[in-house]
Amino acid sequence: MSNTQSQVESDTGTETMSDMLIIFRKAPVGTSWAREAMDLALVSAAFGQKISLLFMGDGVFQLAQNQQPSAVEQKGTQAMMQALPMYDIEQIYVHQDSLDQRGMDSDQLHIDCQSLDSKALPGLLQQHKQVFNF
């Protein structure tokens, strides 16, 4: 399930670009970025855009299981992440080194992600017409 990829395969060939990549780099809960980034992902998908998500840096903490943001009266992004398939957002990537540095296991994330190694990151960005970074 979590074979780390060195290259991102695009389903229709190397010439095709996907519409939008959203990069999640901030830890959850401490700031509103995780929620605001996820809101943009869902709205963009509702607009018919083909969206990919990349979690890297502290953004991988957004994927941790068993988060209970209600303990500090915050809303998390757990429910939104579970809704991603309903919005046809299926290209969800996580940077393996970011997970490793933080002691996280790619098999124990809140949602299924495709693990990418660092070599695959430049190609991922190049494949998208617009990259949002939060």
**Cα–Cα distance measured from residue 19 to residue 44, given in angstroms and rounded to the nearest whole number:** 10
> Under 8 Å CB-to-CB from 48, ≥6 apart: which residues?
none
Cβ closer to another protein: 45 or 81? 45
Whole-angstrom distance, CA of residue 124 vs CA of residue 11: 13
Which residues on neighbouring strands pair with residue 130, listed in sequence order? 20
Q: Minimal distance in Å, beta carbon 25 to another protein?
A: 6
Q: Of residues 49, 69, 100, 112, which one binds another protein by CB under 8 A?
A: 49
Minimum CB distance to another protein, residue 103 (Å): 17
Binding to another protein by CB under 8 A, coded x per residue (else -) over 4-43, reads ----------------x--x-x------xx--x--xx--x
Please report which helix (H) or strand (E) contains residue 92, including its range. Answer: strand 91-95
> What angle (nearest 5°) sits at the alpha carbon of residue 33, between those of residues 67 and 20?
110
47 vs 65 by CB, closer to another protein: 47
Q: Kindly tell me which of 2 and 32 has the beta carbon lying closer to another protein.
A: 32
What 8-state DSSP symbol labels residue 72?
Answer: G
Residue selected from 8, 24, 34, 44 as contacting another protein according to rule CB under 8 A: 44
Choices 8-16, 64-72, 84-92, 114-122; region in contact with another protein by CB under 8 A: 114-122
